[in-house]
Amino acid sequence: MAQDSVGWPVYVRQIASVFTPLPVADRAQAAIVASNYGEAGALDRYGARYRLPRVYSGQNQLWYDARPPATATSVIFVGGQFEDVRSRFRSCVVAARLDNEVGVDNEEQGEPIAVCHDPIGGCATVWPALRHED
């Protein structure tokens, strides 16, 4: 749906505004995990201009394509899957919410951008729980 791509550059700027102020040590060990293809696609397309780390997603084929490094101790988690996975980290705080700034009610509008630290059991343990096919 075309309306689901409305706001991609704005969303990525908002995600970068959460990532960039993290302490240097956290940024060095950070990964970004998107709940769906749209969020992952936006970050893949526009993230380099903000020097964001690689994006990962547990949705469909993206789960098989790549997983966050085992050394990731900080995760910027984007999207609706957040409530299902927040308990898998020692701490998670919603830092912002996606807003396309043009009032288009699409799948991404209002979804959380969270900063999560210390995946319980490490990223390799958390990663299987992020898989979803929808």
Cβ-contact 91, 76 below 8 angstroms: no
Q: What is the pLDDT of residue 5?
A: 63
Encode pLDDT of 82-121 as tens digits.
998 999 999 999 999 999 999 888 888 999 999 999 999 9
Q: How confident is the model at residue 77 (pLDDT cuts 50, 70, 90)?
A: very high
Domain that holds residue 84: 2-130
Which single residue is written with the structure tokens 């769906």?
A: 36
Instruction: Please count the structural domains in the chain.
Output: 1
Burial 27-55 (b: 16+ CB within 10 A, else e): bebbbbbbbbebbbbbbbebbeeeebbeb
- H helix intervals, the chain: 8-19, 24-28, 37-46, 61-65, 82-85, 123-126
Encode pLDDT of 3-61 as tens digits.
556 788 999 999 999 999 999 999 999 999 999 988 999 999 999 999 999 999 999 89
